[in-house]
Structure 1
Amino acid sequence: MQNSNTTQNVFPKIAILGMGAITLSIARALSRNKVPYFVLTRDAKRKSELLTNPLWYRFGSGETEPISFEGITSSLEETKDNFDYIILGAKSANLEESIQKSLPLLAKGGRFVLIQNGFPEEIVSVNADQILGGVVGWNTQKLSDGVYFQSNAGALILGGADETSPESFWKQALEPYIPVILTSNLKGFRWHKLGINSVINGLSASCQLTLGELFFKKSGRSAAIRVLTEVRNIIEKIGIKEEVVPGSVSVGKLGNGKGALPFLLRHIILLAIGIKYYRIRTSMVQDLDAGRKTEIDELNGQIVTKSKKWGIITPVNEAIVKKIKSLEEGKDKPAISFLEELARM
């Protein structure tokens, strides 16, 4: 059960459970580097889909390319092998179920790789030494024509949930297609990504806007700074050392407080992001567009939950969570005026 392009497997045995936008970028990098991997599916229908048709991928302005999983795909029930690493592409709500179903396939001393947003390491029932956290620094989304489009280059930050640094083979397996950072400070990267995602996903979804539509508005940029200020306050309170994902900007520099960048420069940075990614409808916006439940509880909801633990007020993030839940339930409609409300809080 290995990629037919490779004659000798010098890598640990890797499986991917849940082939979607983010895991497709990882699968492409493994394929390009001729690293053997196996694709696991939850049911026979998804197995048939992946065996019958390739998934189509495009990076930036490059060519659209097919990625085939023929010969390396099997359902969980059929698979008899054990794997050193199982990369889980499930949504956070389905993460524990995915772990329990694939746990019998994890080799002794093996690890799950959790690439979900928020703090997935805290919501699963396996030991910390069985978990690698993966913080994703790129955006891949499925377009209306079915193509998975990666809009930016970005790193994969890997760190042990037990605060150990992972094995160096990940660099050989994924670079140069995905730059890899190995860290013992996973929480520092998790908190940074949570702050940025709570703006990119949570704030934009609260009005169902593209990133350009969000950041071209002064109220949108001001609301973003308010979101990040609340995250910064928590990070400082609990003593987390923020680690910045390459290509991003520190939450501590964008949020209000000591050491922040000049106010005008922060608006310019946000405006530049809006220009670069003007048409991007992030995953949470697309969920609302399609009438699906979002992962707001794993983003802005995490900020609200953790802030209460430490006696910190987060009214902007609380308002975003409430708004998106109302949109999910069809009790409310998106309105630009909501950004103005947030900016005034």
Structure 2
Amino acid sequence: MDIKKVAVLGAGAVGSYVIWGLSARRDIELGVVADGPRGERLAKDGCAINGKIYRPAVWTPQEAHDADLLIVCLKYGALPGALDSIKAVTGPHTTIMSLMNGVDSEDIIASAVGGEHLLYSLIKVASHKEADGFHFDPATTVGIIFGEKEPPCDSPRVKAVEALFGGTELHFRATDCIREEMWSKFRLNVCNNLPQAILGAGVGCYRDSVHMKVVSDGLRRELEAIAAAKGIDMQKVDAVSGKGCAVKPSARYSTLQDLDAGRHTEIDMFSGTLIRMGKELGIPTPYNEFAYHMIKALEEKSDGKFDYSGPNQEMTWAK
């Protein structure tokens, strides 16, 4: 298997790392999948990454059809609306890697195109947006981890992706424990993204506050109980995959970045998923229920739901 045409769906924080790395390959076709006004904007302005403008091709889903590799880098809420585009891109031999957060995007994509196309994967990159585009530190980025859900783990497409990434500055590694790796990253997101987002402080809060650690640990216990009930042995990867990228104490992870920008978050994919799984398995999830409802309320606040500055306010009282 030889990868010569790579399509990237989503050119945000995660997609920028992929575009940055693969743009060094002059022997492949690299394109971002987009149409309409968004496609026009990308074609005109390019992708601003680490202070430089990158100009991958911009393909409609139909133009990207039968790409050797489709890398999905969307926000969770955008996935249902993108399934038609993913189906249009996918040809008989297309391999799909989803670098989305969470542990169920592969299942959602597989329901549209078939599980045989999926090479399970994840990314650890501390990327953020500034006025001049997306920024990340290539040196401290953990990078892309991928592997087959079922043996053989050294499949031709695993070797092909290794060869593709090997000619770049991307950090990557193949693994024979991809489900455990994905749940390990899921744990990092749930335990570090959510309490920080509620508090509105940098990640140093986990180091400096015993109270923040209590909340983070509560979320962790619930997630690990659900993982164990689903047969996920986190200890298989704790030694090599238990940490994220090194960042400054002031760093703000994706959920807080979304709230800072007035956007809705991926809380449905984080605590929402764990609450659903907990109910299915009979495992209580009080910490995740609290985080879910608090962040949903913060989204409502961003939407202006709690703006009580008008002149004729109806009286209310505590109940």
TM interval, short-chain normalised: 0.7 to 0.9
| Residues 1:293 and 2:264 are matched in the alignment | yes
| Shift of residue 230, structure 1, vs aligned partner | 1.6
Aligned position for 1:265: none
Aligned position for 1:47: 39
> What letter matches 2:164 in structure 1?
A
Aligned position for 1:304: 275
In the superposition, the TM-score normalised over structure 1's length comes to 0.76
Match of 2:86 among 102, 121, 128: 102
> What letter matches 1:249 in structure 2?
G
Deviation per residue, 1:315-341 (Å, 9 max, x gap): 1111101110111112679xxxxxxxx
Aligned position for 1:149: 135
Aligned position for 2:70: 86
| Residues 1:167 and 2:163 are matched in the alignment | no
| Shift of residue 10, structure 1, vs aligned partner | 5.3
Shift of the 200–80 alpha-carbon distance from structure 1 to 2, 3 Å rule, reads: closer
| 8 Å contact kept, 2:11–2:47 | no
Aligned CA RMSD, in angstroms, stands at: 2.8
CA distance in structure 1 between the partners assigned to 2:275 and 2:21 by the alignment: 36
Corresponding residue SS for 1:139: coil
Corresponding residue SS for 1:158: strand
Shift of the 82–109 alpha-carbon distance from structure 1 to 2, 3 Å rule, reads: closer
CA distance in structure 1 between the partners assigned to 2:228 and 2:182 by the alignment: 14
Aligned runs of 1:107-118 on 2, under 5 Å? Answer: 107-118=91-102
| Shift of residue 57, structure 1, vs aligned partner | 2.2
| Shift of residue 120, structure 1, vs aligned partner | 0.7
| Residues 1:318 and 2:289 are matched in the alignment | yes
| 8 Å contact kept, 2:275–2:285 | yes
Aligned runs of 1:1-345 on 2, under 5 Å? Answer: 11-58=3-50, 64-69=51-56, 72-76=57-61, 79=63, 81-118=65-102, 119-124=104-109, 125=111, 126-143=113-130, 145-151=131-137, 152-161=140-149, 165=153, 166-175=157-166, 177-242=169-234, 243-244=236-237, 248-249=241-242, 276-330=247-301
The ranges of structure 1 where at least 4 consecutive aligned residues each deviate by more than 3 angstroms after the TM superposition are 160-166, 243-248
Shift of the 178–231 alpha-carbon distance from structure 1 to 2, 3 Å rule, reads: same
Corresponding residue SS for 1:47: helix
Deviation per residue, 1:206-239 (Å, 9 max, x gap): 2222212443222112221221122222222332
| Shift of residue 116, structure 1, vs aligned partner | 0.9
- List gaps (5 residues or longer) in structure 2: 308-319
Equivalenced residues, count: 294
CA distance in structure 2 between the partners assigned to 1:247 and 1:57 by the alignment: 28
In the superposition, the TM-score normalised over structure 2's length comes to 0.82
Aligned position for 1:337: none
- List gaps (5 residues or longer) in structure 1: 1-8, 59-63, 251-269, 334-345
Corresponding residue SS for 2:74: coil
Shift of the 248–131 alpha-carbon distance from structure 1 to 2, 3 Å rule, reads: closer
> What letter matches 2:80 in structure 1?
E
